[in-house]
A = this chain, B = another copy of it.
Amino acid sequence: MSVLPKTDVLCIGNAIVDILAHVDDQFLIDQDCPKGAMNLVDAARSAALYDALPPAIERSGGSAANTAAGIASFGGACRFIGKVHDDQLGRVFTHDMRAVGVAYDTVPVSAGLPTATSMIAITPDHQRTMNTFLGACTLLTEGDIIEAHVADAGIVYIEGYLWDSPSMKAAVERAITLAKAHGRKVAMTLSDSFCVDRFKDEFRALVEGPVDIVFANADELTSLYDTAGDLDAAIDAIRDRVDLAAITRSEHGSVLVAGDQRHDIAAAPVAVKDTTDAGDLYAAGVLFGLSRGYALPRCGQLGSLAAAEVVSHVGARPDVRLSDFALETDSA
């Protein structure tokens, strides 16, 4: 048995600074960007896209990093592992993590690839299309996974995007092994349906094996189990393979499935401005709730509230302390 963890959640993911701009649909067509996807690009393509992009704002991002920021904003004890370069954008990313209260001390690289950027093109329908240059993220190694950090965390949360480089994947596999050795829960997001298509067999094996908690949207889950868009069939497929599956359904809310239990959670009402990574903040709410031992419906509600906050403005990090939301609904 393990001792009580000092950290609620250890999040491992890509350390990215987002570059956000409003575009029309023609921009995506002209630039050959599949709408709604996270497209990986190299340095040259990233530079060419940036030249074409309208004026932008920069804001720290990264899927699991957003989740970490959300958990800390709820008042949870959270640590993040991910790689930046010791450059201006790396310092921006580091500042934003620490300023929201996330423990973050992954050693930055001081040579080679720059800090990762993701150009996020927001179309008038509030969808976002991402073009990510992973840069320094790909230099994350097994050495960056400190055993004591894993042992100290109640839940280790990893993003599927980490499978996009062998070095990152080796790091996350070490984290999973250590988590299991220390009796900790492993949570994972499937990240996006294109990512699921790239690593379907591996993701299925993870869900069948060490992963206890899965976050996915409907596209990702139906893609994982090839159910031709039948969400209920996909839910039946994952039901007995994990402790908890949390499935987001955009404006239709979410579904929490744990063995025989199924809880349908409504989305919180909100004027949508930018759907950039609402799922990241949904995961923050659920993971924070789980770490506090809340009942599942309340965990789902916290997820919905956190997601509603971030879609109400541009950028994937909360503009307010999410602990205010938790207080407002503190009746579970």
Alpha-carbon gap, A96 to B56, bound state (A): 7
* A59 pairs with B57, CB closer than 8 A: yes
Does A34 have its Cβ within 8 Å of any Cβ on chain B?
A: no
A52's nearest neighbour on chain B, judged by CB, is B99
* B55 pairs with A58, CB closer than 8 A: no
State whether A99 and B56 are in contact (beta carbons under 8 Å apart), knowing that A88-B88, A319-B22 are contacts in the complex: yes
Mark interface residues in A35-69 (1 if CB within 8 Å of B CB, else 0): 00000000000000011011111111000000001
Determine chain A's interface SS by DSSP, over half rule: mixed
Does A100 have its Cβ within 8 Å of any Cβ on chain B?
A: yes
Does A87 have its Cβ within 8 Å of any Cβ on chain B?
A: yes
Contact partners of A100 in chain B: CB under 8 A: 54-55
- Closest CB in chain B relative to A211 CB, distance in Å: 30
Does A317 have its Cβ within 8 Å of any Cβ on chain B?
A: yes
Alpha-carbon gap, A242 to B50, bound state (A): 42
* A53 pairs with B319, CB closer than 8 A: no
From B55, B88, B89, A114 is in contact (CB under 8 Å) with B88
* A69 pairs with B88, CB closer than 8 A: no
Does A315 have its Cβ within 8 Å of any Cβ on chain B?
A: yes
User: Which residues 88-144 of A have a CB within 8 angstroms of B?
Assistant: 88-89, 92, 95-96, 99-100, 114-115
* A55 pairs with B60, CB closer than 8 A: yes
From B58, B69, B88, A57 is in contact (CB under 8 Å) with B58
Alpha-carbon gap, A100 to B53, bound state (A): 10
Contact partners of A115 in chain B: CB under 8 A: 88
Alpha-carbon gap, A140 to B87, bound state (A): 23
Alpha-carbon gap, A329 to B53, bound state (A): 28
Contact partners of A60 in chain B: CB under 8 A: 55
- Closest CB in chain B relative to A316 CB, distance in Å: 11
Mark interface residues in A169-208 (1 if CB within 8 Å of B CB, else 0): 0000000000000000000000000000000000000000
Closest 6 pairs (CB-CB, A-B): A58-B58, A88-B88, A55-B96, A57-B59, A55-B99, A55-B100
